Amino acid sequence: MATQDQHEVRKDKLGALRGEGWCFPNDKKPSITAVALQERYAEDLDDTQHYIAGRIMTARYMGKAAFLTLQDRSGQIQVYLRANDLGAEVFEQAKSWDLGDIVWVQGHVFRTKLGELTVWASATAVLVKSLRPLPDKFHGLQDQETRYRQRYVDLMVNQDSKEVFVKRSRLMKLLRDFFDQREFLEVETPMMHPIAGGAVARPFVTHHNTLDMDLYLRVAPELYLKRLVVGGFERVYEINRNFRNEGISTRHNPEFTMIEFYQAYADYKDLMALTNALFSVIAEQLTDNGIVTYLDHEIDFSKPIAEMTMDEAILEHHPQLTAEILADESGLLAYLNTHKISCKEGSVLAQMKLQLFEDTVEEKLIQPVFITEYPAIVSPLARRSDHDNTLTDRFELFIAGQEIANGFSELNDPEDQAERFAQQMAEKEKGDHEAMPYDEDYIRALEYGLPPTAGQGIGIDRLVMILTNTPTIRDVILFPTLRHKSLEE
């Protein structure tokens, strides 16, 4: 029977139920979950009556008896229906149930000849009539785009998908517990900004009618969180949604989740140590002995995270390149041209290095590694290094070829910060849509005095991808951004 035909048949069944006075009842509640039943009766059985409720996932009818599989939030359990127990009329109603209907059952447990724990129904009721059929039980919901657009169906029928989001939730709780235990204060900052600052990114723009002003969806909470440190909240964190009007790929979604945290009287090395401690907890609670399989790689979370400078990483993965060429602007430009690596017109040496690193080295950084000594010209909010003012006290954490975290000692010199903002504005005037704007209020905050501070952001979506062996970011976001498509299409 065609799907549309099933839809019409189910609507007819709903109409028949309404004709009998039925109207989506809300007076039947479960007393126990499927998994709790399995745990309670792992060994001995008794005659206690239990109430369960769930969605019908499978059904087998055999004359005057039937076996159903119900699925609730915890898992599945089998139910046995018999006309002799329910009465002929009720049993006939049950025979009209469809896969996907949500039903309530009262009964005691027993084990079938095959040893499967089953609820022997003494009373039943349909709570919700499902008007659309579930995907084929043998193949599930396999079309990727349908899984993203109809995540509710994906979660019903694909246990692997459900487990990804359960693990994501566990990670979120772990992060909160980790920072709460270290006296960080969880805060909330605006998601609509008058200035799109805090990261080098292209923002989404909206307009507030009453105020008659443009606003920007948050690209990062950084500048607001550091304002709070100025105000005296010396340890803060925010699990935040960010929005960047950029490309979509297996690693990028326009709306994504990060955790950002800031600690006064700390530097970037303190944050590297803190990150090591965090990943030790993640390894203990969310991995199998610290090892995670991701695509073709085994990622070891149990060891301390390695550390390399950007120059060291470039030279390791470009053995034909010398340190002398890497330090010479014309020599490096010739090397880039030979390897067909293009930079923006007018790029200086530091920008060329970063382009070479991003294009050819990042994807090769499989095991967890901190890359340090980022150039100041591409790090407008980071403190300059004491040993080389062209570099900053900054690191990025890479795992499985992906940037997972970015942290640095914060720039708290208001005059230096003003110069960096001016430099960013010059880049914007040259056509760089991602360059950061000049934020006068943030400079004012720095003039009141930001304690020596270090801050870091961790991309939660990408981290979940690695922890769940998921190749695309859309599979770890419940409702990823998709091109609009009508139901008719």
| Range with lowest mean pLDDT among 5-14, 140-149, 247-256 | 140-149
Sheet containing 213-217, strands listed edge to edge, beginning at the edge strand earlier in sequence: 192-193, 213-217, 205-208
Collapsing DSSP states into helix, strand and coil, what is residue 197? coil
Q: Mean of the pLDDT values across residues 46-66?
A: 96
Determine contact, residues 50/57, Cβ cutoff 8 Å: no
What are the pLDDT digits (tens) for 430-450? 877 777 889 999 999 999 999
**C-alpha pair distances (Å), 310 with each of 162, 371, 374, 398:** 38, 6, 7, 12
398 vs 313: CA distance, rounded Å: 12
Q: Is the pLDDT of residue 477 over 80?
A: yes
Binned at pLDDT 50, 70 and 90, residue 268 comes out as very high
What are the pLDDT digits (tens) for 156-181? 999 999 999 999 999 999 999 999 99
Binned at pLDDT 50, 70 and 90, residue 81 comes out as very high
Binned at pLDDT 50, 70 and 90, residue 143 comes out as confident
Q: Is the pLDDT of residue 262 over 60?
A: yes
403 is in an annotated binding site: yes
Mean pLDDT of all residues belonging to the chain:
94
What are the pLDDT digits (tens) for 215-254? 999 999 999 999 999 999 999 999 999 999 988 898 999 9
Q: What is the pLDDT of residue 153?
A: 94
What are the pLDDT digits (tens) for 327-358? 999 999 999 999 999 998 889 999 999 999 99
What is the 3-class SS of 146-159, one letter each residue?
A: HHHHCHHHHHHHCH
Q: What is the pLDDT of residue 200?
A: 80
Q: What is the pLDDT of residue 137?
A: 59
Determine contact, residues 135/147, Cβ cutoff 8 Å: no
Binned at pLDDT 50, 70 and 90, residue 320 comes out as very high
Consecutive H or E run containing 161 = helix 159-181
Q: Mean of the pLDDT values across residues 479-485?
A: 89
Determine whether 311 is exposed, middle or buried from the number of CB atoms within 10 Å of its CB (0-12, 13-18, 19+): middle
Q: What is the pLDDT of residue 437?
A: 86
59 vs 217: CA distance, rounded Å: 48
Amino acid at 305: I
Q: What is the pLDDT of residue 4?
A: 63
324 is in an annotated binding site: no
Q: Output DSSP code: residue 87.
A: -
| Radius of gyration from C-alpha coordinates of the chain | 29
Q: Mean of the pLDDT values across residues 47-67?
A: 96
Q: What is the pLDDT of residue 439?
A: 92
Q: Is the pLDDT of residue 488 over 70?
A: no
Determine contact, residues 139/119, Cβ cutoff 8 Å: no
Q: What is the pLDDT of residue 344?
A: 84
Q: What is the pLDDT of residue 353?
A: 95
Backbone φ/ψ region at 289: left (φ over 0), alpha (ψ -120 to 50), beta: left
Q: Is the pLDDT of residue 145 over 90?
A: no
Binned at pLDDT 50, 70 and 90, residue 126 comes out as very high
Amino acid at 198: G
Q: Is the pLDDT of residue 489 over 60?
A: no
Binned at pLDDT 50, 70 and 90, residue 429 comes out as confident
**Within a 13 Å sphere around the CA of 242, how many CA atoms are in the beta-carbon half?**
28
457 vs 381: CA distance, rounded Å: 13
Determine contact, residues 258/240, Cβ cutoff 8 Å: yes
Portion of the chain with pLDDT greater than 70, in percent: 97
Determine contact, residues 218/260, Cβ cutoff 8 Å: no
Amino acid at 294: Y
Q: 419-438 as b/e, with b when 16 or more CB fall inside 10 Å?
A: ebbeebeebeeeeeebbbbb
Which position has the higher pLDDT, 198 or 120?
120
Q: Where are the alpha helices (DSSP H) in 202-294?
A: 222-230, 268-286
The two counts, helices (H) then strands (E), for the chain are: 16, 18
